[in-house]
Amino acid sequence: MWDQSEIDPSSRPAFANLTTSIQADVCVVGLGGSGLACLTELLRAGADASRVVGIEAAAVGSGAAGRNGGFLLAGTAAFYHDAVRTFGHDRARRLYELTISQIDAIAAETPEAVRRTGSVRVAASEDERLDCMAHLDALRADGFPGEPYAGQEGFGLLVPTDCAFDPLRRARSLACRIAGRGVRLYERSPVVRIVDGEVQTGEGRVQCEHVVIAVDGRLAVLLPELRPRIRDVRLQMLATAPTTEISVPRPVYARWGYDYWQQLPDGRLALGGFRDYGGEDEWTSDATPTGAVQERIERFLRDELRVRAPVTHRWAAAVSYSTNGLPVFGEVRPGIIATGAYSGTGNVIGALCGRAAARLALGEPAEIADLLAA
């Protein structure tokens, strides 16, 4: 795992585990980007901090939030023109608008975690080059920024509103702020059951009116009724030592979005994807890196990017993909709101949904609920 605490050990917050029975108005399960956005919004909306609780199975940002590619991408997992075709024009356009605004909100809240670089999507074939052009045309037709791209990474399009992102840094910053406002956060407290207004961990309980489950990977473990709609998948990455062999000014998305890389400010390359090379084995919630995919990522690093710097980190995490390509969002049982299944691109839409879940928990409407309705 690429872990910011290795650079600055003081950056890792630590919270107690839950060992008693407590009460709250709202309990948020999962302290990744979505759950922390939800808690932030609860406070912004005026919720009593002493009546809000956050519970995490492991540590803040230890799930996909702390192990991802660090792209802030507007839209849903589908490329914009595909989203227009699949979800309808008005819905796709509004989702794109909301996610662009969400990138601004994330940058305003945690500027230390965001670099306004833009992103590029490059084509690995002639078919894909034509698809990049269709993607660009659809963005421009709706007045969204985009430009043709030709550079060292290949041909495709550049989306100037996208950003490079340090998701673990953001998660830790938000957790410290939220706890500083008086919200009780607990780590190493996996939720095992939610029943009759009670969230149960191995050693503790939270009695509450509303539960927000902000768990992307393993969402269906807590809510088995979602199983037909979502499936866990393992995504893998590696990082190199700092290198000057290559200069990658902005995150790169390639081969229909399967593969992605960016160069961190200290020169390290973080490179991931190639999930299809692992075949059916990658449809799992097991977060152990595997030889098949790691070897393929490293081959790309050596043969295509021509980087010789040593690989210093290898990691994986589980996320959920939905069958219809849209996140799961809404009240799935009385008093239980679920958000997740971002199909591999949850940094932005996960934060958007997390904030909207807070509004729902406070009894307010959330536009995103209608936009994401199946």
Ligand X SMILES: Cc1cc2nc3c(=O)[nH]c(=O)nc-3n(C[C@H](O)[C@H](O)[C@H](O)COP(=O)(O)OP(=O)(O)OC[C@H]3O[C@@H](n4cnc5c(N)ncnc54)[C@H](O)[C@@H]3O)c2cc1C
- Spatial neighbors of 130 by CB under 8 A, at least 6 apart, are none
Question: Which is nearer to ligand X, 118 or 217 (by Cβ)?
Answer: 217
Q: How far is the CB of 186 from ligand X (least distance, A)?
A: 9
Q: How far is the CB of 179 from ligand X (least distance, A)?
A: 16
Q: Which residues bind ligand X (CB under 6 A)?
A: 29-35, 55-58, 62-65, 67-71, 73, 190-191, 214-218, 222, 235, 237, 272, 317, 319, 340, 342, 344-348, 350
Q: Which one-letter DSSP state was computed for residue 67?
A: S
Question: Which is nearer to ligand X, 141 or 192 (by Cβ)?
Answer: 192
Distance CA 342, CA 349 (A): 7
Q: How far is the CB of 126 from ligand X (least distance, A)?
A: 26
Question: Which is nearer to ligand X, 135 or 218 (by Cβ)?
Answer: 218
Distance CA 102, CA 99 (A): 5
Q: How far is the CB of 142 from ligand X (least distance, A)?
A: 21
Q: How far is the CB of 17 from ligand X (least distance, A)?
A: 11
Q: How far is the CB of 251 from ligand X (least distance, A)?
A: 7
CB 124 within 8 A of CB 93: no
Nearest to 70 by CA among 28, 122, 110, 14: 110
CB 240 within 8 A of CB 301: yes
Question: Which is nearer to ligand X, 13 or 350 (by Cβ)?
Answer: 350
Distance CA 269, CA 330 (A): 37
CB 253 within 8 A of CB 122: yes
Question: Which is nearer to ligand X, 62 or 161 (by Cβ)?
Answer: 62
Question: Which is nearer to ligand X, 113 or 191 (by Cβ)?
Answer: 191
Q: How far is the CB of 230 from ligand X (least distance, A)?
A: 12
Partners of 339 in beta bridges:
329
Q: Report CA-CA distances (Å) from 155 to 107, 125, 133, 253.
A: 28, 10, 10, 11
Nearest to 158 by CA among 172, 168, 144, 171: 144
Distance CA 187, CA 140 (A): 45
Q: How far is the CB of 32 from ligand X (least distance, A)?
A: 2
Distance CA 213, CA 353 (A): 11
Distance CA 125, CA 22 (A): 57
Q: How far is the CB of 362 from ligand X (least distance, A)?
A: 20
Question: Which is nearer to ligand X, 90 or 295 (by Cβ)?
Answer: 295
Provide the pairing of β-strand 230-240 with 269-272: antiparallel
Question: Which is nearer to ligand X, 47 or 238 (by Cβ)?
Answer: 238
CA atoms within 13 A on the CB side of 168: 20
Distance CA 213, CA 259 (A): 29
Question: Which is nearer to ligand X, 91 or 320 (by Cβ)?
Answer: 320
Distance of CA 188 to the CA centre of its chain: 21
